[in-house]
Amino acid sequence: MAERQGFERELVDLGLDRTKEWFSEVERSGDRGGDQAYLVVVDGEESPITEGEYAFIQGQVVSRGKFSQGNRGCAYLGKINPALPFVFEVRDRVCAIRAGAFLNPDDPKIQYGGTWFDWTLVRDDKNPDRNFWPYYRQEMDDLALKGMEALGRGGVERFMQHEHITRRPIQIAKPFLATLNKVRIRAVPMEIRVGPFVRYTDYERTVVWLETVTPAIVRLRCKLSSGGSESAHYASTVRVGGRYFAAVEIDGLREETFYNYTVELAPLPAAGLIPVKPSEFSDVFPSLTLAVLNSIKDQLRLASLDENEWLTFRTLRRVYDKNLLFVTGSCRWYPGDKKGGKDWGPDMLDGLGTWLRANRKDKWPAFLFWGGDQIYADEIGDDTGEMIVRARFASRMPGPFDSVSPLRSKLIDGAWAGRFSHRYQTYKDPDIKRYQSVADGVKKLDEIHRRYPDIKGIYREYPDKNPREQLKERYQTLKNRRDLSGAHGEASDERAAREAVGLLPTVDTLEISTEPFRVFLPYWKVGFSTALRRNPMAGRYLSYNFLLWRLPDFEHQIPIIADRKSHSLVRKADAHGHPSAADGVHAADFAEFASLYERAWTSSRSVRVLLAQVPTFLMFDDHEVTDDWNFDSSWVRMLHNEKDDFRMWPKTLTDSLAAYWMYQGWCNKAPSQWRKDDPRVKALAAAQQAGSDALPELRSCIHKACFSKVPSKDPKATFQTGTSLDWHYQLPFDPPFLVPDCRTRKFMVPTDDDLRIIDHDNPKKRPMSQTIDNGQLVWMRDILVEKKRNDSVVFIAPSTPLLMPMKVTQIMTKPETAAGAWSQGGLLDFYAALTGSTGSGRASNALLRVFRRSVDLEHMIRDRSWRDLWGLVEAMRKVGSSVKTLVLVSGDVHHNYCMTGNLPGGSRLKPELLQVTCSGLQTTIRSSADKWVAEKQSSLVWNENFKMGKYTLSHGFLHKNPPGVPMGNPIGPSSISLYENAVAFVNVRMKSQVEISVAYLAGDNTYSYKYTSG
């Protein structure tokens, strides 16, 4: 209360209580400011600006001036008419309204994406001194004084991100027209949001990517680390989903040479053309004042090795013909966060950054390659989840407006904020009794399931049968056992089964009356919280992103999601509640996917240092989008659920790929190297030049290419989508390093689901689906087979491994050997899983599907890509390829290993396959029980060689290097797999034979594998 009174007193001091009186004075006097009219510009601490240049622009009228100690922040309007809209800028700072003016959120030229504040209260003079200014100023002050936003959602949205007035017309609020000197504009230095991040690099060029909080011109100054003159390179940001991205391309560099660089920021010019071409920047980039320069230096210290404004990168070689060192890894959960209160570290991306800071530059890898799951959209940490929940509240629904109908066809609305406006519904706090009733019901239901796990668990054993009936049948079987044995009294399992059956009516009632509202509880909790109530505007609407429903195992299980305008729910066909994806906090739009990338790449100083110094190439797997993405055609059909009025999944996945494009895909090449007719490139170029938001067009082109087509229900109809957009690429050096797309272009053959055993040598048991489609195979053949090469080694980096350890391979090709053990844990099934005996295993087709989905049996050993890649190797041999070793670089599987594969017909025919798998940077890496089973299975491998059809596969053995023992000098025990968070150093030596050492950095230890081609 005291805090509120303080704000109200401040507003009285500013005169905001005299609205009508001031407006009458203006009407009587006709004063429009004159040459002496001014407003006051202050910094983040409310001190008047005393240096720098400013400008007012109103059509053809321009008024410019300079700040000084004498004028104390006064910006004189000159001939600007204060009653009409105008644009204002401070040349080297970003500005926002502090008091006395407004921007019109409904002006389509502004493309306002803010959801925290309702500017129409000021525009329409709806008592803004009570309804708007106290809350707006509180948020602004928290940002300036505490470096945070009061609503606690700074990881999803930032205050200045939407409230800046760069290139945006503003107007003086009516009560202030008579006293313009009461108008306040805050002008603060530009901020880097993510980065700098050294991305695409070759022998003569590098690209530095970064994200800024507000629209900016980026100037990158670069010089040789050994000394010399500087060169300046520029880029203007492009807006996507209300966020701002830049890629600065530096060319004319020397091969394999270290350079130092630093970054400087300025706002986009207030009017006129936005500079895009190199020749357009020098005249518009302003002189930076000392305070601004110091602010940028302070920001860069977080990413600098030496804690100053200078950072470092090294160019690559055109050809690596003697030695190549790179680092790889994948799969990173909960960066800078916990889950269930548990720390899942060590985080080896952070660990690699720490290693980099401790080692000389000549030991650095040439580049980093991250092979998938850089974020987990479906595995959200505690703090991250809370921010996502809070950020779903809004004061208004963001634009643009999408006139398309029906609701399920809307796609671009809300894109200016990275949201979907049609998912917003009016929010009202529930009656406290209703809240408590739902909370108590959920607690009771959870306690029942905790005490009687079979109520849910029996589905896993009998997915093709009615679980309620199976539970009753189990109880009857146990009862009959007692009757037949003549035992007195119930055994514990019989008693538990009887009690579980007796609770079924209670469970049914709770699942209908309470379970559908479970997902609302965290939002109701936030709605009741002080943080949200500090800004009543922000609680008007709620994004129902939590309607994103968990994808079930079978199509007949898809839920119903009806648009009810208020309290839309996800229910099963029988009215029971259907679970939300990731308990309601699965990333569900561009704003949320972007926030996960922001967290991942700013989680620690070591991570920032690493990404700011070493060139990085990336590729998605499934979790950048969602688990099991494009698992099969039935999975894709479920995405397009006709019972979902919102069409939640196709739109969510569209935004996931838009976010991937901005944070990963765009700079896997230099921006100048992309095809000019690529619709993603065209969308960015057009938006950059116009100063508009590119997300509407990105959504349209990505949705059309990847998520508009629905698979036929014909069980014999094949399905493929995504072929019109290229995500695959080649790293810019020789020997070839090819990165295929293993997700968007999958070729799906439904009849493969009927194969209980995979046998690639048997036409009746041979799968025809493809992880890597024919178009990419042609691309790889052109490079590796058709083109004459002299390389001794080449690389392919599929996100999922081709070669897998023997036991995993057996389970992949004969899943029924493990499905029964997985579902029931019986001794016979466990024996089948370990021995690979299909005769001992037992599993229905339905159970096999549930098992495959649950344990991610979607690797190339299970589809035609197994034969396709081996066919590529055979074709290389037939044309007399000089390649001795084809290195496969993969992740995905949450453990680490190396192994080799050989063509039939002799000992180690060339090319030989070497699989290097590193997963994960920070993941579960198995629970203790699963880890024990995996290690015990590994111990069954008495012979390091085994056959997979006609090909010979060999396990590699990893040797432990204790702390203090240099990498590559292993001592200690060996194993075929490493079950720890790790990152892999891959050192390739190309001599008369290929020598490759792989060192897994895992916490304080390293584990080494050595390979020689022979």
Structural domain containing residue 668: 193-384+584-623+633-706
pLDDT at 639: 96
What CA–CA distance (Å, rounded) separates 559 from 551? 9
Summarize pLDDT for 979-988 with one digit per residue, the tens.
Answer: 999 999 999 9
User: Do 184 and 206 have their domain in common?
Assistant: no
pLDDT band at 904, cuts 50/70/90?
very high
H or E segment and range at residue 223? strand 216-224
How far is it, in rounded angstroms, from Cα 674 to Cα 677?
A: 9
120 and 169 fall within a common domain: yes
Rounded distance, CA 72 to CA 70, Å? Answer: 6
**Shortest CA distance to 608 belongs to which of 301, 265, 309, 292?**
301
In-domain check, residue 530: no
Taking 70 as the threshold, does the pLDDT of residue 10 lie above it? no
Q: Mind listing the pLDDT tens digit for each residue in 319-365?
A: 999 999 999 999 999 998 999 988 888 999 999 999 999 999 999 99
Model pLDDT for residues 95-124, shown as the tens digit of each residue: 999 999 999 999 999 999 999 999 999 999
Residue 818 lies in a domain: yes
Q: Are residues 254 and 338 in the same domain?
A: yes
Asked if pLDDT for residue 927 goes beyond 50, the answer is no
Instruction: Round to whole Å and give the CA distance between 248 and 724.
Output: 27
Q: If DSSP states are collapsed to H, E and C, what string results for 771-797?
A: CCCHHHHHHHHHHHHHCCCCCCEEEEC
Q: Are residues 678 and 738 in the same domain?
A: no
Domain contains 344: yes
Do 645 and 748 share a domain, yes or no? no
Q: State the pairing for strand pair 323-329/311-314.
A: unpaired
Lowest-confidence pick of 163-172, 246-255, 350-359, 975-984: 975-984
In a domain, 391, yes or no: no
- Co-location of 748 and 867 in the same domain: yes
Angle at 710 between CA 705 and CA 712, to 5 degrees: 135
Strand partners, 251: 205
Average pLDDT over residues 524-539: 83
814/784 same-domain check: yes
Q: Are residues 176 and 234 in the same domain?
A: no
Continuous segment of H or E residues that includes residue 185:
strand 184-188
Quickly tell me which residue has 């469970």 as its tokens: 507
Structure confidence at residue 840 as a pLDDT band (50, 70, 90): low
Residue 497 to residue 481: CA distance in whole angstroms: 13
Q: What confidence score (pLDDT) does residue 542 get?
A: 95
Say if 860 falls within a structural domain.
yes
Q: How many CB atoms lie within 10 A of CB 879?
A: 11
pLDDT at 749 over 80: yes
The answer to whether residue 923 is domain-embedded is yes
CA distance 241 to 213: 12
pLDDT bracket for residue 777 (50, 70, 90)? very high
Q: Is the pLDDT of residue 861 over 80?
A: yes
Q: For residue 15, is pLDDT > 60? A: no
- Other beta carbons within 10 angstroms of residue 503's beta carbon come to 17
pLDDT confidence of 49, banded at 50, 70, 90?
A: very high
Average pLDDT over the chain reads: 90
pLDDT of 442: 97
Q: Is the pLDDT score of 990 beyond 50?
A: yes
Could you give the CA distance from residue 6 to residue 19 in angstroms, rounded to a whole number?
20
From the list 345, 375, 380, 383, the residue with the least C-alpha distance to 922 is: 345
Q: What is the rounded CA–CA span in Å between residue 940 and residue 173? A: 78
More confident residue, 432 or 825: 432
Mean pLDDT of 915-919: 97
Residue 463 falls within a domain, yes or no? no
Average pLDDT of 595-606? 95
Separation CA 680–CA 666 (nearest Å)? 9
Number of Cβ within a 10 Å radius of residue 81: 15
Q: CA 871, CA 756: separation in Å to the nearest integer? A: 24
Whether the per-residue pLDDT at 671 is higher than 80: the answer is yes
Q: What's the gap between Cα 308 and its chain centre?
A: 29
> How far apart, in whole angstroms, are the C-alpha atoms of residue 817 and residue 681?
48
- Over the stretch 286-307, which tens digit does the pLDDT of each residue have? 999 999 999 999 999 999 999 9
Output 715 or 710, whichever has higher pLDDT: 710
Name residues whose C-beta falls within 8 Å of residue 670's C-beta, 6 or more positions apart in sequence: 200, 202, 205, 207, 249
Q: How many domains does the chain have?
A: 3
pLDDT tens digit string along 614-627?
999 999 999 999 99
Instruction: Clarify whether residues 688 and 745 are in a common domain.
Output: no
23-27, 589-593, 1005-1009: which is most confident? 589-593
Torsion-angle region of 338 (φ positive above 0: left; ψ -120 to 50: alpha; else: beta): beta
- Residue 27 CB neighbour total at 10 angstroms: 11
Bond preceding residue 406 cis, omega within 30 of 0: yes
| Percent over 70 (pLDDT), the chain | 90
- Contact of 32 with 77, CB cutoff 8 Å: no
DSSP 102-123: E--TT-TTT-----S--THHHH
Examine the domain organization and report whether 1001 and 891 are in the same domain: yes
Answer whether residue 16 shows pLDDT above 50: no
* Contact (CB, 8 A) for 883 and 794: yes
Residue 519 belongs to some domain of the structure: no
pLDDT, average across residues 738-750: 97
- Give the pLDDT confidence score for residue 43 in this predicted structure: 94
